[in-house]
Every structure is written in structure tokens, then in C-alpha cells.
Structure 1
Amino acid sequence: MREIKNQLKAGVVLSYVSTAITIVIQLIYMPVMIRLLGKSEYGLYSLVSSVVGYLSLFSFGFTGAYLRFFAKFYSNKEKLASLNGMFFTLFSILAVLATISGIVLSFFPEQIFGSKLSDSEISKARILMLILVINIAIALISSIFDSIVAAYEQFVFQRILGLASVLINPFVCLPLLLMGYGSVMIVVVTTVVTLVRFVVNAWFCFSIIKIPISFQKFHWSLLKEVAVFSSFLFLNMIIDQINWNVDKLILGHTSGTEEIAVYGVASQINGLFNTFSITISSVFAPRVNHIAAQDGNDYQLEFTKLMAKIGRIQWMILGLLTGGFIVFGKYFIVHIFAGKGYAAAYTAALFLVIPALIPLIQNIAVEMQRALNKHQFRTIIYLIMTICNVGISIPLASEWGAIGAAMGTAFSFLIGNGLILNIFYHKVLKINMIFFWKEILKTWKGFLVPSIVAVFIIRCVVFENLKIFLVSAIIFVIIYGASILIFSCNEEEKNLIFGMTKWKRR
């Protein structure tokens, strides 16, 4: 038990260290990559990556199901061995199917990417697609190892491996970009890193954890149970892929690679917000499944407390990022991150980031739904959101490009996540959302002073050079941190900040 507590605490700490390093690397590497590739090739790279990302749907939601069935069979090694064997067999088959599908799709680049691309862009898109298909196939098989490591709560290894992957990629790619290599070399390096991560993951699972595995008996009844549970996870994966990638496909048909590049930058900014949000909640996913498996119908109070606890921390962290981006984001994108041709990415990013704050501080609820096998309703709601997103985004993208596409996504997120899912959490999952939002609102005092400072900076400070920008940003961060610590954090959160809290696991 002590080891699990230490893994949990170390996992949270390493998650934030990894997140911080990841963001620093992105802030240094991405601007260089965008400029060296050029707006057109970066847009093409972003578009192809989004399209190939759809092949990850060949996991069919089985990865998300593993934690639940692991918690169910953990005490029975024979059933756990059969479960592992079944998952390995499934993912090997699915990886082959994904590869074949990707190769077939590569023969129809014009139909997939749109008529706005030139002949040279179409040719390069086909090459990028074939390499990324191999990457997806390897990642599919590797994902089951990731799930196993998470199920055994080996967060230290998982975070260190993830951090190593993040570090290696840009350190290898950057010299190659400076030497004149383009997007093709980037995806080659990415694929090699994925392969190495797969090998290390496999070694850890078989040699260190010593997972039980058996291929002798393929339990079709168990597969049926897993398939039924995973079916809505699979549908949800489809919906998520559409929600976050369909805008680029729409822009490919209505605007071309330059608007895709603008949207790609906005999407990168939104991705940083997502990274911060899942840093804590991903560590607690196994704990959620244990609560659901062990406590039966008495989970409501535990889930409510856990969701409020995690949500408050996510809210205060994302508050800094959101406020900081509103004040400093435009200068950051135009003068530091992407370049003068990407000013519209600031507005597009605001439309993506602000509506997403609600689901980002509640994303632990996704794990709760899965643990309770009540994730079907969320999938249906997201399906409706997706239809609305596509229907609204097409005319908006035709009129306003990347900003219009982001507006369509913003509207669907506000309705679905902001209203409908909160009612679902309260009425169906029996999580006290009134208590949750009261806990969030208790932090309001800490936001007063930073808000005043933000307004002052926007109205009175002109970022004439990088020095003024950095000094203003540092002042804002210090004021925000001090105000939140004094007026918003409760005792447990203050102790956590000062490194004295021990995360408890029941």
C-alpha cells in the first residue's frame, strides 16, 4: 500500500515535471519547425497527421476497457492471463487491419485531402501518410502495454518513458530540419521513437512487472463482454476524432493549406491546455476503477470528493493559462511561436480553449463513467455535438476560414459539455455537481487581483519588445500565483504546493 501511495504521489509530481518540460520544448521547437517547414508544408503536415489519426480508431475502444476488466480480474491470475492474451491477440490483428486500410487510403489523396492542394502537395501527402500509417500500427500494439503499466500503477516508469519520448523527438528532428530535411523526415523520426517506446514498454511489462499471459484459451464470452463495453467507447473515439480533426478536413476543401496551418497553430495551443488538464486525472484513472469495483453502490460520495478535489486544482492551473493567453497570447503567437502570418490563430485558439475549460476540469468524470459502465449517454451527446459542429463549421469556415471553423466547435462544446453533461453527471452518475461547482466558485477571491492586473496590462502596456513582454508575463504569473495561494487554495492544496501532503489511496 505504501508503494502504491508513493507511486501515486510521484506520478503526479512527475506528470507536472513532464508537462512543464514538454511545454518548454514545444515553445522552443514548434516555432523553429513551423518557420523551417513554411506555412504551406506545415499545413500539409498538420492535415495529413489529422487524417491518419483516424486510423487510431482501429483500437475500437478496447484500450479504454482494459483498466475496468483488469480491476475486475486482478485477484484471479488465470483470468488475468487470459485477458492479457486476448488483448494482445486483438491488438495485433487490429494493427494489421489499420496498416492495410492506411495503404488503401493512400491511393486516394485527392479525394481525402481536397482539391485545394497542388500536385506536389498531393505527392508529399501520400508519402507522409504511408509512414504515419506504420507509426499508428506500432502505437496500437504499444497502447496495450501502456494500459497494463497504468493498471499496475507504475506511474514513475510511465512518466519517465513518456518524458524521454518527448525529449528525443525534437532533439533529433531539429538538426535534421536545419540541414534542410522537411516533414517526411519528421514523421520518420516520430515512427522510430514510437518503435523504441514499444520495445521498452514490452520489456518492462514482461521482465519487471512479469505480467501473466496465456494464449491457450480464447474466451469468447469474455470477448463479447469486453466488446459490448467497448462499443460506446469506440463510438466516442470516432466522435472525438471528428470533433478535433474535422475542422482541418473542412478547411482542406474550403480554404487550403495556409488556413489549415493557422488552425493547426490554434490546435497546438489548445493541446497544451489539454495536457495540463489530464496531468492529474490520468494518474487517478486506476483509483477510479478500484472505487467502482470495490465499493459497489457507495461510490457517489468518493467520486464527488475526488472530482471536486481534482477539478479545483485543474481550474486554478487552467485559470493561469487562460488568463495569461488572453493577455499575452496574440504577441506570443505572432512574434514568438508562429510568425506574422498566424495572427488569426489567436482568435481561433480562444474559441477552442475557453469553451473547453468546462470538460477539462471535469475530465476525471470520463473515467468514472467507464468504471461504472455508464458511458453510453456521453457518447450519444457527443454524437449530437459532432453533427452540430460539422453543420455549423462548414458555412463558417467557408466565410471566415480557421476562425469560423473554431467558432463551430466552440458552440457545440458549450451546449454539450457546459449544460447537458453536467445534468447527466448529477442525475445519472449521482455525482453532486452542485457541490462540485460550489467548490470551484470558492476560488473566486483569488481571481480578482489577477483580473485587474490583466485589464491594466491589456489597456496600458505596449509590448514594444521581448523584454517588456517577458517582464509583464513574469509579473502576471507572480501576482496570479500569490493571489491564488492566499485567497483560493484550501489547507490541503497549500500543503500540496509546499510538498507536505501525502495523497491518500483507499
Structure 2
Amino acid sequence: MRKKLILNSFSGTTLYLINVVVAFIMSPVLIRALGNRDYGLWELVMSVIGYMGLLDLGIGPALIRFVSVADGKQDRSDLQQTISTAFAFFIVAGGLALVLFAALGYYPRIITGNDTKDIANLSTVFLLFGLDASIMFPLQVFTATLMGLQRHYLINSARGILTIVRALLTFYLLQRYAGNGLIVLALLEPIFCLIQFAFFSAAIVCDNSIPRMTFRAVTWRKLHELFTFGAKSATMLVASRLQNQSVPLIIGNVIGLGQIVYFVMPNRLIDYAKGVSQALGLPLIPYFGASIGRNDRDELLKSWFSTTLALQVVSLAMPVAIFFYGESFLAIWIGQEYASAGRGVMHFLLLGLLADSLAINASRILVAQGIHGKNAVIWLVLSILSIPVGIGGASAWGVTGVVMGTTMVMVVGNIVTVLLACSAMKISLQIYFKETLMHLVLPLLLLFIVMQAFTLLYPVKSYPNLLAQVLLAGCIYVTAIWCFTLDDGMKAKLLERIRSIMPQGV
């Protein structure tokens, strides 16, 4: 099982790196092809897609957990009922999403304001996104089933290849059909979603260890179980959407579509930083779920501590690196205009990133045990409060003011999540930080000092300069991790793992 976890995490990290490289290359291309206004509209529509995800009512996250537990118990009948019932539900959800997007196509000003009156083919864009959503909802059953069976590597490999192909095709079509960028991007959404549907459904059908989905296995009892568990996840999902997807909507309607880009670019940099630990940590819920299925609480606590520390090695280094190099990177990548306008936004986002890193694995342990309902309600309340705060901030301080509301939610919400996780695992907050953060204080302090010295002595002017400084500081950080964080047993296991994957004779 541990080998599968490592393979899943490695493939997830590889997919993340592919996404980063593709976004790094394509983001300037998209901004130049669409312009600030149309690019802002694109991001706003993507936010609406995020809100449409609420139609799954938390069944998607619940499905991963139910599949992993059923697999841990080797209960094929329960597994068949789970995936069959979820598939029937998502067909209905997909149809409803299609209808809602079609309605938005007739009345786009409901969410876009008056800036879109001169944008051509806007109704077609919404209709294509509706078609995409109608495919995406049933697709969740196949991907969630594979995730629940800890086969993330299959999903990650396929999506990595499709990401590269899609980027190449997007670049070609934007050049070939200049001036029609929104239609090009919207058309590619359902096409590539359909390709994924075909591939992952085939993977499920061709695997004899996975029972066949059938409408005869659909039961109201299983739907009730999924919904009861998923209601907690749905609450958390609503909170997440309000927190993350509302910002472009607030900016677009209060300030203007052309201002959204000044939030999106710094936020994308923060998302890249989050993506590393998220890619590594994605397989952990089914991993924890398997331990719960075996009723091994000691193993669960030990795994939680070790995986949290491993994730924080990466996640806590990210705020330090972005603090020193984020603005310089944006200036080189997109342009000084975007770097300067996004400075305040990025600093507030960094506070949220730091809070998120401290609680990097807390919500996963709650979800895996099915006791995340209270945490979800608290996040929902905080996220709702962030909307009027964001609107008021937008009126007073522009884009930066909107982000202040989001940051407030992240900081307070993550503190609450850690406290609830510690309570669930019957440990004190002091023990939690002793087993995680305290092991990294010296390496992080050294990383901060090294990066401070580099940026003062050698101001960043180019990608090679930036890359050299980050790599050198990273090497010093990793060395400090080896010297100050890892004990002899952990070092021995790591060396053994390295030797096992190296070719014979090396």
C-alpha cells in the first residue's frame, strides 16, 4: 500500500509540474490573445463553473471515501451499489447544469455586469460550458472510483498527456483564428472532457476487479448514505467556492472585468505553491480511509504525523520563496504592470498560504473519519462573511481589498480546522506542532536568511538568475532538513528507498 501511495504522489507531482509549465507558457499567450477584458471574462466564467460544482451536493468527495472503505473491506456488493448510485445521481446533476448554463447564455448580465455588451458569441460560450458540465459530472464517478481504489497514477498520467496536447492545440487555434479566442477556449472544454470520459470509463469497464455499474444496483439507501456523508463535504465545498470563486465575480461587478487579471496572476502563483503539497497529499484520504477500514488507530495517528511533516517540508517553504521572489517572477513572466498592481494582493494571499500550510493535512484526517461536519459549517459561515467584507474592500481599496476578506477566512478557518483535527485524534495542539512544525523551524529560518541575502546582493533580473538563486537556496534548505529534521531512523529508511529505485550497480 505504501508503494502505491508513493507512486500516486509521484504521478500527482509530475502532473502538477506539467500543469505549471503549461500555465507558465500559456498564460501570457492567453492574455495577449484575449486582452484584459476578455481574459477577465474567461476567469469569471471559470468561477461560475466552480459554483456549478455545488450541484454534486458533496457526493463526489463522499464517493472517494466510500469506495476506499469498501475496497478496504473487500465488499464488492457495497462497491457496486456505491458507484452505480453515484452515476445515476450525476447524470441528473449534469443535465441540470446544462439547463442552467443555457439560461445564463440568454441572460449573461446576471453575473457579468454591463462590460460584456460588446462581446460577440457570449451565449455560445455559455452553452459550450453547459455541455462541458453535463459530461464532467458523470465523469466524476470514474475518476472518484479510481481515486478511491488508489489508482491516481492512471488519472494523473492520462491528464498529463492531455494537458500537453491541449496546450499545443490551443496555441495553434488561437493563432489560426485570431479574434475568436473565447470560442476556441470554450469549444476545447467539452472536447477534452469527452476524451477523459471515454478513457476513464474504459479503464473501469476493462478492470475485472471493479464490479459493473448497473441501474439495478441503484438504491435509495445508498444515495441517502452518500448524501448524509456528502452533506458535510457539500457544506465545505460551498465554503470553498464562496471563498475562492467569489473574488472574480466581486471584482468584475464592482470594479470591472479588466481588473480581474490583477488578482488572477498573483493568485495563480499562490495556487502553484499550493499545488505541490496538494498533488502530494491527494492520495491521503483513501490512504487514511484504508487504515480506518482496518480499525488501526495507532497506524492512523502515526501516518497523519509523518505525512503532515512531509507535506510541510514543501508547503512551508513556499511562502518564504514567494515572499522574496514572487513579484520579480511576475514582472519577468507577465510584465511589470501586473507585478506592481498585484503586490498588495500577493502579500495578503501569502498570509492565507501560510495558514493553509500549517493546517495542510488537518481537513483530510477529518474527512477520512467522516467527522468534518462541524468544520464545514464553520468554514461556510466565515466564507459568507467574507463576501460583504470583500465588496466593501473592493469599494475602498480595489482588488487588494477584496483579497482581505479571503485571507481572513483562510487564517481563522485553518486555525479552527487544526483544533478540530487535534481534538478528533485526541492530542493537544502542542503535540501537533511538536510533531510537525517544530521539526522545521531551523531549516525554514536558514532558508529565510539565505534568500534575504541573495535578493539583497543579487537582485533578480532574469529567469536564469532567479532559478539559480532558488535552486541554491533549496539545496541549502534540503541539507538543513537532513541535518536538523530527520532522525537516524528516517535517514536510514530514506537511503534504503533511494537505493531500491536506483539501477543495480549504481
Question: Please, what TM-score do these two structures have when normalized by structure 1?
Answer: 0.90
For each residue in 1:103-154, what CA deviation from the matched residue of structure 2 results, as whole angstroms up to 9, or x when unmatched?
Answer: 1122221121223x14123x45433222122212211111110111112222
Offset at residue 19 of structure 1 (A): 2.0
Question: Conserved in 2, the CA contact under 8 Å of 1:312 and 1:361?
Answer: no
Question: Conserved in 1, the CA contact under 8 Å of 2:363 and 2:421?
Answer: no
Match of 1:235 in 2: 235
- In structure 2, relative to structure 1, the CA distance for the partners of 1:127 and 1:480 (3 Å cut) is farther
CA distance in 2 between counterparts of 1:468 and 1:378 reads 43
CA distance in 1 between counterparts of 2:175 and 2:490 reads 44
For each residue in 1:454-479, what CA deviation from the matched residue of structure 2 results, as whole angstroms up to 9, or x when unmatched?
Answer: 22234343334555444433333333
CA distance in 2 between counterparts of 1:220 and 1:314 reads 39
1:423 to 419, 422, 430: 419
- In structure 2, relative to structure 1, the CA distance for the partners of 1:165 and 1:361 (3 Å cut) is farther
1:256 partner amino acid: G
Any unmatched runs of 5+ in structure 2? 502-506
Structure 1 range deviating more: 278-287 or 466-475? 466-475
Question: Conserved in 1, the CA contact under 8 Å of 2:443 and 2:480?
Answer: yes
Identity across aligned pairs (percent)?
A: 19
2:417 partner amino acid: L
1:86 partner amino acid: T
For each residue in 1:63-106, what CA deviation from the matched residue of structure 2 results, as whole angstroms up to 9, or x when unmatched?
Answer: 11113322444433233222222111111111111111221122
1:198 to 2:197 alignment: yes
2:34 partner amino acid: L
- In structure 2, relative to structure 1, the CA distance for the partners of 1:215 and 1:118 (3 Å cut) is closer
Question: Conserved in 1, the CA contact under 8 Å of 2:281 and 2:311?
Answer: no
1:62 to 2:65 alignment: no
Match of 1:148 in 2: 145
Match of 1:355 in 2: 352
CA distance in 2 between counterparts of 1:490 and 1:128 reads 55
Match of 1:270 in 2: 270
Q: Secondary structure of the residue that 2:210 maps to in structure 1?
A: coil
1:195 partner amino acid: L
State the superposition RMSD in angstroms. Answer: 2.4
Match of 1:438 in 2: 434
- In structure 2, relative to structure 1, the CA distance for the partners of 1:278 and 1:502 (3 Å cut) is farther
Q: Secondary structure of the residue that 1:208 maps to in structure 2?
A: coil
For each residue in 1:341-393, what CA deviation from the matched residue of structure 2 results, as whole angstroms up to 9, or x when unmatched?
Answer: 44222431332233233334534332322232211111111012112211211
1:387 to 2:388 alignment: no
1:291 to 2:291 alignment: yes
- The number of aligned residues is 494
- In structure 2, relative to structure 1, the CA distance for the partners of 1:248 and 1:148 (3 Å cut) is same
1:119 to 107, 111, 117: 117
Match of 1:246 in 2: 246
Question: Please, what TM-score do these two structures have when normalized by structure 2?
Answer: 0.90
For each residue in 1:162-207, what CA deviation from the matched residue of structure 2 results, as whole angstroms up to 9, or x when unmatched?
Answer: 2123222212111222332413212222321111011100000001
Match of 1:333 in 2: 330
1:76 to 2:72 alignment: no
CA distance in 2 between counterparts of 1:448 and 1:356 reads 17
- In structure 2, relative to structure 1, the CA distance for the partners of 1:6 and 1:475 (3 Å cut) is closer
CA distance in 2 between counterparts of 1:353 and 1:331 reads 15
2:150 partner amino acid: E
1:44 to 2:41 alignment: yes
- In structure 2, relative to structure 1, the CA distance for the partners of 1:463 and 1:278 (3 Å cut) is closer
- In structure 2, relative to structure 1, the CA distance for the partners of 1:469 and 1:217 (3 Å cut) is closer
- In structure 2, relative to structure 1, the CA distance for the partners of 1:427 and 1:410 (3 Å cut) is same
Question: Conserved in 2, the CA contact under 8 Å of 1:232 and 1:379?
Answer: yes
For each residue in 1:411-449, what CA deviation from the matched residue of structure 2 results, as whole angstroms up to 9, or x when unmatched?
Answer: 22111212x222212224435543221121121111233
Question: Conserved in 2, the CA contact under 8 Å of 1:52 and 1:129?
Answer: no
Match of 2:105 in 1: 106
CA distance in 1 between counterparts of 2:208 and 2:489 reads 33
Q: Secondary structure of the residue that 2:398 maps to in structure 1?
A: helix
CA distance in 1 between counterparts of 2:47 and 2:173 reads 23
CA distance in 2 between counterparts of 1:303 and 1:502 reads 26
